[in-house]
Chains A and B, each alone.
Chain A
């Protein structure tokens, strides 16, 4: 048996970075994170500050004004929106919110879904049956409609929207985790642990789960983009973040009717969403390829 030259983690990392698509995704992601972290630094305005009467000459829906390109007066790189707020500031601060939306929603779904799927797959029997049937019921509903119904019941607002989208996503991770656990529970290291006297719970949580995480991570990365888009969809239907929150999805959803008359209000957050979803999708694909042993060529 040859000596392993690198740890599995470093191998995976290297494999990941070898893929061009993954590198593109990672770059976009880094831009995104920088924007989110440095929003206060890069933007000179507050995202919720209404500039009527505060800044002379500020008019609703004013287009981009960049001093370097000859525009005089206060600089608004992305222009002003319908309530005379600085769009650039809103887009940058929106990065924070969108990342939060993506990670919290998916995180919530992963935690609950993995728990359900792991227990289900490991214990089997009627527990498995019950849990999976409940997951099937959830999956049977078209996800957006279920999210609409949940948000309507618990009330609008960004937190509730995230909760709704998270709940709707639970079955996906439950299924993924269950499939992984099913594949792992009959392996030798599990029976070996049992022989050594380990409890069922510790086998599940200490041995199986860590090995089953890979598909979850991949699926999760891909799910983040979907979560951000779902918030946009709910905002389109009037059920997303409440004004004046600077969240990309609600900016596009609520202001979509300005697309033709004042495109800057919709296009800049739109590009931001597209870049973000693209970044996570490419990174997710890259992770899948990097972590899939069959593709190690």
Chain B
């Protein structure tokens, strides 16, 4: 009798719980385990040497709260990649309907501390506090993003009181902001990388002596001292030293004008030569003063007889020309997607990179390929040392400086901070009790579906609205669990099991479960999926993690 009573009580309780949760969630469908891709589909791609390239092999939801990722090759940066803003989790029902009617571009639906209340295109993006947030609620009631490309105009917004915080305080304005008692500056670590590129396929840079002469003639300390914001560093390596393994190997050459002139004479240019230096006139973290820096490089090289003609190219032309390897000498910069040395070096110097610098340097490509699949260890350090040393010997680029950047806020904004990856967390900021927080970025996002976006300003807005399984700690660089309570790897590091947090709701009322996770990844991964649609549908961040499924579908017109 007693067991019957207990059983009845248990069953009643379960039924009651089941009814309660069914009525409070939009997902009234029972859970269905999903495994992707279908049986027999091989997702992994073999590299030339037979080893498997990094990527996703399988994703499956075991139960409502468990998702298992199977990788093709170990990925030392897996948790970092789970923290990418483009890999945030969307509700599967919303994903299906919103990609179909296009509303996914400007009507985001996330789990984050803020939700979108209005977007006046190219004027302002207005977010409102999510009062049903699973974690600590945002301090501000509304968060408005404005965007202004000119630093003087941004400064006006801050000084006039129209904004509570601005991004990228120009170096020339730094003093007036830091000395203003009503304002405060915050610094981001020096994480940009500015360099001069030399094309070994075009004379006179096909001669190593000439390239070395350039390297010895450049005084990068002078450039950093004069034109980079407070907190920036001279570059002795392509990668900043604050990034792990960034500074393995030998540091860059010291300035030596005499040796430079001698090398030029040896190479047959005792009186120097003429060359065109091309660059983009766009201020970014990596390049705080494009015209001034180019002019200074011009002035410095004039001292060894190299007559530089400056050429400003606008963005589209610049990328086309460098990508095709048509520019003999150019200045370019890199802003990291995530903080791993491979992210700095792979795009430019990895295997299969575009011929920006002429002939590729095999030693660098080899070392980088290996380092990408090796976990952090002395072996990995040695690989980066090899890559850096090979770069130093080949001199296809001259590192100039690592740019820092600064933010400005009103003094009464508590919780204001700078994020090294420019992804500030506005939920912890309180605008002096006023309830309305206004922040000015540089470039308005083209859409708020960050799976298909690539720039910083977009990511910053998206990350207030949407969250991923992991996220970067506020103001830091390490990943921490967010929508997952934890992800643990198997011994061979090929399988990761993630436990999904319970009782999390999307802004549209749907509950978070493992199906949402699987569908979110499938939408990005599978080119043949009807959910694989964004603003451009290129999903440019996905390749950092894995190849695409059904790659032939990636080329079909919509």
Q: Contact residues of A with B, CB < 8 Å? A: 50, 52-53, 60-61, 82-84, 152, 156, 238-239, 242-244, 254, 256-262
Contacts and interface: CB of A to CB of B under 8 A. Distances in A.
Contacts of B463: none
A83 B150 contact: no
Interface in B293-318: 294-296, 298-299, 310-314
Contacts of B150: 256-257
A225 to B, nearest CB: 25
Contacts of A256: 150, 152
A239 B281 CA distance: 9
A50 B170 contact: no
A257 B295 contact: no
15 contacts: A50-B295, A50-B299, A82-B292, A156-B311, A238-B281, A238-B314, A242-B311, A243-B291, A256-B152, A257-B152, A257-B172, A258-B172, A260-B176, A261-B170, A262-B172
B172 A261 contact: yes
Contacts of A83: 292, 295-296, 299
Contacts of A50: 295-296, 299
A262 B152 CA distance: 11
Contacts of B296: 50, 52, 83
Contacts of A257: 150-152, 170, 172-173
A238 B222 contact: no
B485 interface: no
B170 to A, nearest CB: 6
B226 A52 contact: yes
A243 B310 contact: yes
B155 interface: yes
Nearest to A261: B172
Nearest to B173: A261
Sort A-B residue pairs by CB-CB distance and give the 6 closest, nearest first: A50-B299, A261-B172, A257-B152, A257-B151, A83-B295, A243-B291
Contact of B312 (A60, A156, A258, A260): A156
Contact of B152 (A84, A239, A259): A259
A244 B295 CA distance: 6
Contacts of B414: none
Contacts of B156: 260
Given A50-B299, A82-B289, A254-B291, A260 B314 contact: no
A82 B151 CA distance: 15
Given A257-B151, A257-B170, A260-B176, A52 B314 contact: no
B220 to A, nearest CB: 13
B152 A152 contact: no
Interface string B377-405: 00000000000000000000000000000
B175 interface: yes
B364 to A, nearest CB: 32
A243 B294 contact: yes
Contact of B299 (A52, A260, A261): A52
Contacts of B312: 156, 238, 242-243
A244 B298 contact: yes
B176 A261 contact: yes
A83 B289 CA distance: 10
A61 B172 CA distance: 9
A297 to B, nearest CB: 49
Contacts of B292: 82-83
Contacts of A259: 152
A260 B173 contact: yes
Contacts of A242: 310-312
Most chain A Cβ neighbours within 10 Å, of B175, B222, B311: B311
A86 to B, nearest CB: 14
Contacts of B294: 243
Contacts of A262: 172
A239 B172 CA distance: 23
A262 B155 CA distance: 14
A260 B177 CA distance: 12
B374 to A, nearest CB: 42
Contacts of A238: 281, 312, 314
Given A52-B299, A242-B312, A257-B170, 10 more contacts: A52-B222, A52-B296, A60-B226, A82-B289, A238-B281, A238-B312, A257-B151, A257-B172, A258-B172, A261-B170
B295 A243 contact: yes
Nearest to B289: A82
A244 B294 CA distance: 9
A244 to B, nearest CB: 5
Interface string B157-175: 0000000000000101101
Contacts of A60: 226
Given A152-B314, A261-B172, A53 B152 contact: no
Nearest to A151: B314
Nearest to B282: A238
Nearest to A61: B172
A60 B228 CA distance: 12
A261 B222 CA distance: 22
A257 B292 CA distance: 13
Contacts of A239: 314
Nearest to A244: B295
B182 to A, nearest CB: 16
Which of A239, A242, A261 has the most C-beta atoms of chain B within 10 angstroms of its own C-beta? A261
Contacts of B299: 50, 52, 83
A61 B176 CA distance: 14
Contacts of B176: 260-261
A82 B492 CA distance: 55
Contacts of B314: 152, 156, 238-239
Nearest to A239: B314
A262 B291 CA distance: 17
A261 B310 contact: no
